Amino acid sequence: MTHYDYIIADVRLRSECDLVALGLRGFAPFASEVEGDADTLFAVEDKVKSYDALSLKKLSESYLAEADAEGVLYKTVDGYLYRITPCGDSGRVIEFAIDTTTKRMTTNIFDGDVDLAILRFGLWILFGVVLASHNAIAIHSSAIECEGRVVLFLGESGTGKSTHTRLWREHIAGARLLNDDSPIVRFIDGKAIIYGSPWSGKTPCYKNLNYPIAAFCRLSQAPENIIKRLSTIAAIGAVLPSTPPQFAHDGMLQDSICSTLGELLRHVPAYHLACLPDAEAAQLSYKTMINNA
**CA 11 from centroid of its chain's CA atoms:** 13
Q: What is the pLDDT of residues 12-38, one digit of tens each?
A: 999 988 999 999 999 999 999 887 766
**CA 14 from centroid of its chain's CA atoms:** 18
**Same-domain pairing of 149 and 189:** yes
**Same-domain pairing of 109 and 152:** no
* pLDDT band (50, 70, 90) for residue 40: confident
**Cα(185)–Cα(139) distance, rounded to whole angstroms?**
7
User: What total of structural domains would you count in the chain?
Assistant: 2
**Cα(52)–Cα(44) distance, rounded to whole angstroms?**
22
pLDDT, position 92: 86
Q: Count Cα atoms within 13 angstroms, Cβ side, for 230.
A: 22
**Same-domain pairing of 239 and 255:** yes
pLDDT, position 66: 82
Positive/negative CA dihedral, 240, 124, 102, 76: positive
**Same-domain pairing of 129 and 141:** no
**What does the mean pLDDT of the chain come to?**
92
pLDDT, position 46: 66
* pLDDT band (50, 70, 90) for residue 293: low
**Same-domain pairing of 75 and 20:** yes
Q: Count Cα atoms within 13 angstroms, Cβ side, for 245.
A: 10
Domain, as residue range, for 213: 137-291
Q: What is the pLDDT of residues 149-202, one digit of tens each?
A: 999 999 988 889 999 999 999 999 999 999 999 999 999 999 999 999 999 988
**Same-domain pairing of 167 and 286:** yes
**Same-domain pairing of 8 and 73:** yes
**Residue 47 pLDDT > 90, yes or no?**
no
**Same-domain pairing of 190 and 287:** yes
Q: In terms of pLDDT, which residue wins out, 95 or 110?
A: 95
Query: Residue 271: in which H helix or E strand, if any?
Result: strand 270-275
**Same-domain pairing of 206 and 252:** yes
Residue finishing a domain among 78, 111, 134? 134
